[in-house]
Amino acid sequence: MIIDKIRKTIERYNLLDYKDSVVVGLSGGPDSVCLLHILNELKREYDLKIYAAHLNHKIRGIEAQKDAIYCAKLCDDMNIHCFIRAIDVPKYCKENGYSIEEGARILRYNMFFEIKQKVGANKIAVAHNLNDQIETILMRVIRGTGLDGLKGIQHKRDDVIIRPLLDIKRDEIEKYCSENNLNPRIDQSNLEDVYTRNKIRLRLIPYIEENFNPNLNESISRMVTLLKDDSDFLDKESEKVFNDICKKEDSQTIKINVNTFNGVHKAIKNRIIRKCINFVIGNIKGIEQKHIEDVLELIQNQKTDLKINLPKGLIVYKKDEEIIFTDKEIKHEQINYSYKVPKSGFIKIKELNMIVETKMLDKHEVELNKEDKYTKYFDFDKISGQLEIRNRKDGDKIKLLGLGGSKKLKDLFIDLKIPKDERGKIPILCDEKGIIWLVGYRMSEDYKIDKTTKKVLRVSIENV
C-alpha cells in the first residue's frame, strides 16, 4: 500500500520522469532506507538509474562508522552504487559560524550536488516524511512565520530535489522497513529532547494529539494543501507586478520606483522584495522577515539618500524616488566644473548639458511674477566682479532670504533632502563676494531687488 501512495505522490507532483537518474540521500535511518528501497522497487517501472550518497558527520563516533558500513552493505545487496564521505561537521560549523544542524545540511547538499554532477544525474531524492512536515510547520509557527512558511516543506524544488515520502507517516515507514527486513540504523540522538525539533516531536505533538486533535497529521496536511494553492496564486500575481515595476540595471542590480511600489498591496510587496533579493544574490537563504521589514521601513522613510546592509553582502539604497537592490557599493562621483558668466549673453555647462543665459534689464522691465525656479532676477549693482557658475565646494555658505544669517550648503542640502550623488550636479552662481544663487532652490539675501534697485540681472538656466 505504501508503494501505491508514493506512486500517487510521484504522479501528482511530477517528481519522476521516465529514464531519470537519481541521487538518493542515504543516512541509514528508516526514512532514507525506505526511500531507497521503494525507488529501487520502482526502478524498472520508471527505468531509473539510482545512486546513493552517505555522509559521516563525525559526530557519533563508532556509531557513525557503523551507519556507513550498513549503508554500503545495503547498497551492495541492491546493486546500487554508493558514495560515502566523512567530513568533520563540528569543525566546519565552528569555523563558519553555523549551528550543527545547519552546517550538516549545507555539507550534505553540497555532497549531493557534487555527486549529481559527477554521475550526470538530474534528480536528488531526500527522505522527508509527513511527520517532518508537521514538525517543521509547528517549529515555524513557534518562531513566527508567514504564508510561505506555513506551506512547509515542498514536494519538489527547482525540478531537482524531490521528496517522494512527504505524504507518508513515520509509522508507515517503520512498518515497511520491518516487513521487508531492512533493519535500518537508529540515531539515538533523535530520542533526546535536547533540540527544538526533538522537543516538538517527542513532547509537543503527542500532547496536542492526546488533548486536542488525534488527527493532527491529517489536519495540518490539509492546511498545507490549501495554503499552497493560495501562495501559488500570490506568487504568480507578484511575478507579474515584479516584471512590471522592477527595472534590471545589470545582473546584480535592480531598481524600483518608490511611488509605484507604494501603490502595491502589502501582500505583494513582501514577495517583490524577496524576488529583488533573490535576483541580486541568487537565493533568499539567511533572509528573514525582519530583513524584509527593514527594507519596507527604508522605503517609507521620508529621508532620501539612505542605505541598509543585509546578509550575504546585499545592500539596499534609497536614492531620491528609487529603491536600489545591489551587491555593489555605490560611490558618489564629484563633477567638477567652473565657467565665467558674461553679464549679458550665453554660456554652456557641458558637464550638465545646460545653457545659462544672462540679460541686463531696467527695473521697470522686470516681471517678478514670471520668475520660476530656473529664472531669477538680481540687483545688478550688488554684484561684485566676475560672475562664475560652478559645482559646490567644501565650506560653501549662502545667506538665505529671510534667514538673517548664513547657512552651510551641506546643511541646506540635508534640509532639502537632496541625495548626495545629486548635489555636485546643482549649479551655483557666484561673484567675488560669495554665492548668489543655488540654482533651482535658493537665492541669497544679499542680491535681492529692493526699492533702491536700478538695474537688474536676469539669469535663466535650461537643459539643452
Binding site per annotation, positions for ATP: 27-32
Whole-angstrom Cα distance, residue 29 to residue 13? 25
CB neighbour class for 462 (10 Å; exposed up to 12, middle 13-18, buried from 19): exposed
DSSP 333: P
Strand partners, 458: 359, 377
Quick count: other Cβ atoms within 10 Å of Cβ 223? 14
User: Could you give phi then psi for residue 110, rounded to 5 degrees?
Assistant: -60, -45
Strand segments, DSSP code E, in 98-196 are: 123-125, 156-157, 161-162
Q: Tell me the angle at which helices 2-12 and 170-179 cross, rounded to the nearest 10 degrees.
A: 130
Please report, in range form, the residues annotated as the binding site.
Answer: 27-32
CB neighbour class for 460 (10 Å; exposed up to 12, middle 13-18, buried from 19): middle
Q: Which residues contact 433 (CB under 8 A, 6 or more apart)?
A: 384, 385, 446
Strand partners, 407: 398
Write down the residue that cell numbers 517532518 correspond to.
132
Query: Length of the chain in residues, anyone?
Result: 464
- Alpha helices of 61-129 — where are they, by DSSP H? 62-77, 89-96, 100-119
Give me 276's grid cell: 529583488
Quick count: other Cβ atoms within 10 Å of Cβ 288? 13
Q: How far is CA 342 from the centre of its chain?
A: 53
Give me 355's grid cell: 545653457
**Read out DSSP for 222-269?**
HHHHHHHHHHHHHHHHHHHHHHHHEEEEETTEEEEEHHHHHTS-HHHH
Decide if 322 contacts 255 (C-beta within 8 A).
Answer: yes
Sign of CA pseudo-dihedral 188, 154, 286, 295? negative
Q: What's the N-to-C CA distance of the chain in angstroms? A: 78
- In the three-class reduction of DSSP (H, G, I as helix; E, B as strand; rest coil), residue 383 is classed as coil
DSSP 201: I
